[in-house]
Each structure stands twice: as C-alpha cells, then as structure tokens.
Amino acid sequence: MLKSKLSLLACAVLASIAFTGTRANAATYNAGDLIMGFRVTGGVGASSNVLVNLGQSTTYRDLNGTNSLNITNIFTDLSNTFGTGAGNATEWYNRTDLSFGVIGAFTNISDASGGTVNNGDPGQTVYMSRSRTSAGTVGTAKSTTPTGFSNANMSTISGNALVLNQTTYAGATASGNNSAVAVISSAGAQSYTAFTSPVSDFGAINPGIEQIFTASAWSTGSLGPVSNVEGAVDLYRVLQTTTNASPTGTAKTGSYETTFVINQSGQISAVSAVPEPSTYALLGIGAVAVAFAVRRRQVKA
C-alpha cells in the first residue's frame, strides 16, 4: 500500500513539473516572423508591452488577395495587461492611449548583389506597418506609403527589428494564455516602447508604424469580413535592393501587402479581400437555418 502511495505521489510531482515547464516555455520565434507590438503611454499596463508572433512575413506577402482570418486571439492577454471594464473606458479596446504596430525582417546583412535571398526577400528587406486612416476599400492601402529610405536607414531598421524580434521576443516567456504571446517590460533599450516612442520608429521610420485605438469602434466598425474592428494597420514590404527579389518591387519604397485588423473580441486577422457573394449567401442560409431550428424547438416546447 505504501509503495502504491509513493508511486502516485511521484507521478503527481512529475506531472506538476511538466505542467510548470510547459507554462514557462520561451516564446517561439523563427527568422522572418512578424511581431505585432502593443503599448500604452500611462495608467494600467504602462510598465508592459504585449508582443504577438504572427508567423512568417512572406506568408502575408503571398496572400495574393485572400484573407487570413482569426490568426490568433489575444483578448485575455490584452485584458490582463491593459485593463478590462465590461465595455467601459477602462476596457483595453476603449483606451485612447493604446497603440500597436507590426515589424519584421529576416536578416540585417546587406547584400546588394542579391546573393543572400530568403524566400524571395534579399538581405535587409523589412516588413513594416502604417496606420490606416479609414476603412476604405478592402485590399487597397489607406495609409502613407513608406518611402525615401537610404541604405543606412535599411540597415538601421532591419537591425533594430531583429533586436526586438530575435532577442527581446524570443528571449521572453510565452504567455500562459497564448503560446504566440509574450508580455515583457516596457523599460529598457530593447523593448517595443523604446523602439516606437522616439521620433523615428526603429531608428528611421517616420511617420511610424503604429495606429492608436479610439474610445469606440474604429472607422465604420467593420473592414471586409471582420466586424467590430478596433484597429487596423496596413503592412508594407520594403526592399533594400530589387536584385533577385521575387516578387520584385521598387527599392526602398514600400509595396502594400495586406491589412492587419484586431476586433473587439481580440481576434487578429489579415484582410485583403471581400468574401465572394456566394459566401454571403451561404452565411445567410446558415443564419436562416439556425433561426428555423430555434423556432421549431420553441414550438415543440
């Protein structure tokens, strides 16, 4: 009997260790991943940044007019960090000092000859967001195109992007709510706040990469297939050189790739296209079917 109890105790200890280890895993980062950062300027959460890994940058470059809906849900982490108030001013999505942006780079090694190309992106290619001014047309940029960069700018931006992504994010502990999320200190030279608070984000991006939240639903409250939108930023790909770039573009001038939106439910999506009319029809048929089923149950009762 004693032997059996000791065995059960050992199993419980091992299970506890395994559970603790899982929750303490480092955030997973692969070269070329995009990181979305959130920060506030004061109040609840001012000492923290929320960083979210959106996956490979080239995935969004190659959407080609399609959507990637509900990439991940970060409602719990945003609420825990920046406040929850059941729809009041203290709710994270109603704060007027909460801003977010997206940054990514594969390498900061310059290679004007195009010898080092990562999935079509030459060295020092940078992915950066810009604040979207209105809902506009889905799949069309509604922001200021990043342009006018020098070789030195591209080196600085890509280098700083990798400090945040490969050093700060990858060295942090993943959230217990979402393995793609890391909540870090906003203090220090390698925080998201440090790279976005100065006049030029990441050393040379001006205007910067961020959009600030409002006290209500952003713009009209919807963008393409996503409703209750709280914020939206356009993603641009900026090439340091066009040599061996695929797809090609204009060196040191951004090409619009997609629009990242976050809605009131904390879902992040990449929106580039309006659903086909047939999709809307199917959604309508589904809604009618659900309503009919509910009505039928009520009649039977």
Over the stretch 211-244, which tens digit does the pLDDT of each residue have?
Answer: 999 877 787 789 999 999 999 999 999 999 999 9
Instruction: State residue 183's pLDDT score.
Output: 98
Instruction: State residue 289's pLDDT score.
Output: 43
Residues contacting 138, CB < 8 A, separation 6+: 223, 224, 259, 271, 272, 273, 274
Q: How far apart are CA 206 and CA 185, in angstroms?
A: 24
Instruction: State residue 22's pLDDT score.
Output: 39
Instruction: State residue 210's pLDDT score.
Output: 98
Over the stretch 238-257, which tens digit does the pLDDT of each residue have?
Answer: 999 999 999 999 999 999 99
User: Scanning the structure block, which residue is given the tokens 């809604």?
Assistant: 287
274: left (phi over 0), alpha (psi -120 to 50) or beta: beta
Q: How far apart are CA 255 and CA 238, in angstroms?
A: 7
Instruction: State residue 208's pLDDT score.
Output: 97
DSSP 191-229: SHHHHHSSSSBTTTBSS-S-EE--SS-STTSEETTEESE
Instruction: State residue 214's pLDDT score.
Output: 83
For residue 89, CA distances in Å to 39, 83, 96, 264, 294 come to 17, 9, 9, 13, 35
Residue 205 contacts residue 128 (beta carbons within 8 Å): yes
Instruction: State residue 218's pLDDT score.
Output: 82
| Cross-strand partners of 38 | 50, 100
Instruction: State residue 20's pLDDT score.
Output: 38
Residues of the chain below pLDDT 70: 1-24, 86-89, 112-114, 275-301
Q: How far apart are CA 118 and CA 101, in angstroms?
A: 23
Pairing of strands 229-238, 126-131: antiparallel
Instruction: State residue 281's pLDDT score.
Output: 44
Over the stretch 157-180, which tens digit does the pLDDT of each residue have?
Answer: 999 999 999 999 999 999 999 999
| Residue 222 CB neighbours (<10 A) | 16
Instruction: State residue 11's pLDDT score.
Output: 45
